């Protein structure tokens, strides 16, 4: 009798655990980059801009966290033999966080009179940290 194939691995040898580790590492990298960038924006443009950068970074980090939760729930649904999380709660959390992000963006832009570039930089740091960790993951893969 043949054993059940391991579908948790991709064609290039990356497992679900590797992707989870990379996502968590990107959140940590985002936090470090945000502290450095907030200090630079505070020094260059004032505390309002630093707070806008922190708001953008917080939205990015929660976005990465929600994508990780969504990815985990979908992978559990696809993997045989695991007890999957209820998808409704994960999707509700995902869309609730998205709506909250819109409210936080609106309020921070309305009441903090810093530069919008700081907010965009905070949001962009999430993309930068995820890209860095994706390249690290690909470099470690046995291809």
pLDDT in tens, 117-128: 999 999 999 999
Percent of the chain with pLDDT strictly greater than 90: 43
Cα-trace Rg, the chain: 18
More confident residue, 81 or 135: 135
pLDDT in tens, 53-96: 999 999 999 999 988 888 888 877 777 666 766 778 878 888 89
Report how far residue 24's alpha carbon sits from residue 66's, in angstroms, rounded to the nearest whole number. Answer: 11
Quick check: 8 pLDDT over 80? no
More confident residue, 9 or 15: 15
Would you state the pLDDT for residue 10?
53
């Amino acid at each position: 009798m043949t054993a059940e194939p391991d579908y948790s691995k991709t064609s290039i040898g990356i497992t679900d655990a590797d992707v989870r580790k990379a996502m968590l590492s990107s959140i940590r990298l985002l936090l470090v980059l945000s502290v450095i960038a907030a200090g630079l924006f505070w020094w260059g443009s004032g505390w309002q801009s630093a707070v806008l950068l922190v708001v953008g970074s917080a939205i990015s980090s929660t976005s990465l966290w929600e994508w990780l939760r969504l990815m985990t729930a979908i992978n559990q649904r696809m993997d045989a033999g695991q007890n999957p999380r209820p998808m409704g709660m994960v999707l509700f959390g995902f869309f609730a966080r998205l709506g909250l992000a819109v409210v936080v963006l609106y309020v921070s832009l309305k009441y903090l009179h810093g530069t919008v570039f700081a907010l965009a930089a905070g949001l962009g740091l999430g993309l930068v940290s995820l890209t860095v960790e994706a390249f690290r993951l690909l470099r470690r893969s046995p291809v």
